[in-house]
Amino acid sequence: MEELRTNDYLKSIVVNLPESPGVYQYLNSEGVIIYVGKAKNLKRRVSSYFNREHEPGKTRVLVSKIADIRYIVVKTEEDALLLENNLIKKYKPRYNVLLKDDKTYPSICVENGYFPRVFKTRKIVRDGSTYYGPYSHIQSMNVVLDLIKHLYPLRTCHLKLTPENIRAGKFNVCLEYHIKNCAGPCIGQQSQEEYMRNIAEIKDILKGDAQSVAKMLYQRMMDLSAEMRFEEAQAVKEKYMLIENFRSRSEVVSSTLHNIDVFAIEEDQDRQSAFINYLHVTNGTINQAFTFEYKKRLNETKEELLALGIVEMRDRYQSHSREIIVPFLPDVELNDVTFTIPQRGDKKTLLELSILNVKQYKADRLKEAEKLNPEQRTTRLLKEIQDTLHLDRLPIRIECFDNSNIQGADPVAGCVVFVKGKPSKQDYRKYNIKTVEGPDDYASMQEVVRRRYTRAIEENAPLPDLLITDGGKGQMSAVKEVMDELGLSIPIAGLAKDGKHRTSELLFGFPPQTVGMKQGSPLFLLLTRIQDEVHRFAITFHRDKRSKRQIASELDSVKGIGEKSKTALLKTFKSVKRIREASLEDLAAVVGEAKAKALKAYFAETKNKSE
């Protein structure tokens, strides 16, 4: 009854919602905000949650917990985005994407004062000071600070430098003045006008406009040279060279690109997180770079997540760029802003740089997670196999077969089993080929597969999620015939090797097709390991069988020498040749005098026959 009243209450709210841009909030029965969303049309968007049946998952759970709806009407979709972003950060609703950004990165502060200091800080104080950053790459920030230090003599002290205190002579110069890092404004050696000119140039550099500062220094240098003031011109030239060197290291594209934002996005393997990279470009120089992670809550699309990231970064860095470079159009419209999807040229170079950064960040986070949870790496690899081969289920159990013989002699086969990406050696099996004569690999493979899975069916043993043959299309077809005969629908793949006996390609489907696999990738290395393991297992069994047959031809013919005596002799003398050459006493010490005499008599007889 309570549920019916709640449904009627929600329907009455939805029916009366305005058809205008805004932000809506869902609350649970305790009055807690559990979701915040934005919409171009509030009525249409909120109605979509209630007028259709949702697939099982987080959205259905969210809808079941909604007990109340609030909304705020705004003028534009851009206003809705900004408000949504602020409300999510304020309330942290359970079903909204979670911004995984718990680090406080440092910024560069240009102090608000009579003689401002310039320093790095992690604390933002709203006192009129200007902040540049935050810098996620600390080394980049230190390079800029080092450049400023070499270009301009700035004070680093905390003295209260007011005109009254300086005129009263309250201060004395410190070591920084004597080593020429400071020009002595505390004792009136540097005017406030000259100091503030330096600060203005520093602000240009921090905004990424080092080019205009370089042009100004170059002009000053030329003017001083024309006036024959060569020493002063040399001092300005040294500053000019410093800033040009800085520009050459930080400039990544044409300096014609100015005041542009760049965004790239990557989802993780299970699509539960998204990583977004942000670059801000001024005069061809990247002066802001930041990568962060969103934890999904309701299977949000890449377009929705990119829109959230754009609003978050532009708000955080106070960017007013009129152009945004993106890999695809996000689910957002911004006033007086153009979205560009570049196909070539300098803008394409910038987008590729942003994509490179976000992929590297994703790889680093993946490595961190796998160190904490090694099973996560295995699950990711198995998921990659499942996605690559379009399997119905995760290939938890993989079985692989290989034959081994020399021109049909001593034919054997081996089966190795990998469970959750690791060898399960207790499940390995060796097979002597019984029904095939001569070197027929296809028939041998069919015999082994038929024997293994006939027995598995009879004993109700676990069947593999994926069967791999060590061979090409012929082996796969041979195995497929047996599977059809037994009525099994186990997916079959083939691993082929190149002329140097190295894993070269993965085959799947009927007719078999080559599946693209990047050499050196974790997936390639896992499949190579499986192939190498089955080959090692089969060939070792073949060698053991051949060795036993060769030994049997010598010692099994000796009357009175059984299996135990044979094992003891080989363990002591290591080979039949050494047994043949051993003395009667040495043989007797191992198997007794009677068996020793029988051995000596046998070897003497075989020697006479050969002569």
Element (H, E) at 367: helix 345-372
List Cβ<8 Å contacts ≥24 apart for 59-64. 59/298, 59/299, 62/26, 62/34, 62/35, 62/95, 62/298
User: CATH number for the domain including 567?
Assistant: 1.10.150
pTM attached to this predicted model: 0.47
Cross-strand pairs, 343: none
CATH number of the domain to which 81 belongs? 3.40.1440.10
Give me 542's structure tokens. 């073949």
**Which is nearest to 259 in space by CA: 357, 144, 350?**
350
Tell me the residue ranges of DSSP E strands in 268-309: 273-282, 285-295
Identify whether residues 267 and 244 lie together within a single domain. no
Establish if 315 belongs to a structural domain: yes
131 plus 87 within the same structural domain = no
In a domain, 376, yes or no: no
* Contact yes or no for 492/480 (Cβ under 8 A): yes
Q: Does residue 242 fall inside a structural domain?
A: yes
Domain that residue 62 falls in: 2-96
The last residue of a domain, from among 545, 574, 598:
545
Query: 336 in a domain, yes or no?
Result: yes
Strand 323-325 versus strand 338-340 pairing type: parallel
- Identify each DSSP E strand in 529-587 by its residue range: none
CA torsion 69-72-77-81 (nearest 10°) is: -80
Same structural domain for residues 394 and 535?
A: yes
Q: Which helix (H) or strand (E) holds 109?
A: strand 107-110
Instruction: Note whether residue 483 is domain-resident.
Output: yes
CB 391 within 8 A of CB 466: yes
Nearest Cα neighbor of 402 from 235, 577, 536, 598 is 536
Q: Same structural domain for residues 428 and 540?
A: yes
Output phi, psi for 341, to 5 deg: -110, 90
Please state, in angstroms and rounded to a whole number, the distance separating the CA atoms of residues 463 and 399: 9
User: Could you tell me if 294 and 98 are in contact, meaning their C-beta atoms sit under 8 angstroms apart?
Assistant: yes
Same-domain pairing of 466 and 446: yes
Rounded to whole angstroms, how far apart are CA atoms 360 and 364?
6
Residue 336 to residue 319: CA distance in whole angstroms:
13
Please, are residues 49 and 103 in contact by the beta-carbon 8 Å criterion?
no
Each residue's pLDDT tens digit, 360-381: 778 777 776 666 666 767 787 8
Q: How far apart are alpha carbons 33 and 44 in whole angstroms?
A: 21
Length of the chain: 611
* Residues contacting residue 261 through CB under 8 Å, at least 6 positions apart: 278, 279, 280, 281, 310, 313, 314, 319, 321, 323, 324, 325
Same domain, 285 and 220: no
* Residue among 319, 282, 545 at smallest CA distance from 411: 545
> How close are the terminal C-alpha atoms of the chain, in Å?
107
Would you say 109 and 148 are in contact if contact means Cβ atoms under 8 Å apart? no
Eight-class DSSP state of 53: P
Tell me: do 500 and 434 sit in the same domain. Answer: yes
pLDDT at 262: 92
Pair (513, 605) in one structural domain: no
246 found inside a domain: yes
- 444 shares its domain with 466: yes
CATH code for the domain of 509: 3.30.420.340
Residue 286 in any domain: the answer is: yes
How far apart are the C-alpha atoms of 45 and 66, rounded to whole Å? 15
How many domains, in total, are found in the chain?
5
Name the nearest CA neighbour of 506 among 518, 498, 491, 496.
496
pLDDT score for 438: 65
- Please report whether residue 101 resides in a domain: no
In 336-443, at which residue ranges do the beta strands (DSSP E only) sit?
A: 338-340, 397-406, 409-419, 422-423, 429-432
493 and 506 Cβ atoms separated by less than 8 Å: yes
Last residue of a domain, one of 250, 269, 300: 250
Could you tell me if 195 and 230 lie in one domain? yes
The last residue of one of the domains, among 318, 345, 370, is 370
Q: Indicate the helix (H) or strand (E) that contains 80.
A: helix 77-91
Q: Would you call the peptide bond into 134 cis, given omega within 30 degrees of 0 as the criterion?
A: yes
**Regions of the chain with pLDDT less than 70:** 1-6, 54-56, 99-105, 133-137, 139-140, 208-210, 246-256, 269-271, 283-287, 368-374, 376, 405-410, 438-439, 497-504, 520, 546-556, 607-611
Distance CA 574, CA 569 (A): 8
Q: Are residues 487 and 593 in the same domain?
A: no
Do 266 and 347 fall within a single domain? yes
Cα–Cα distances (Å) from 53 to 9, 38, 49, 57, in that order, read 19, 21, 9, 11
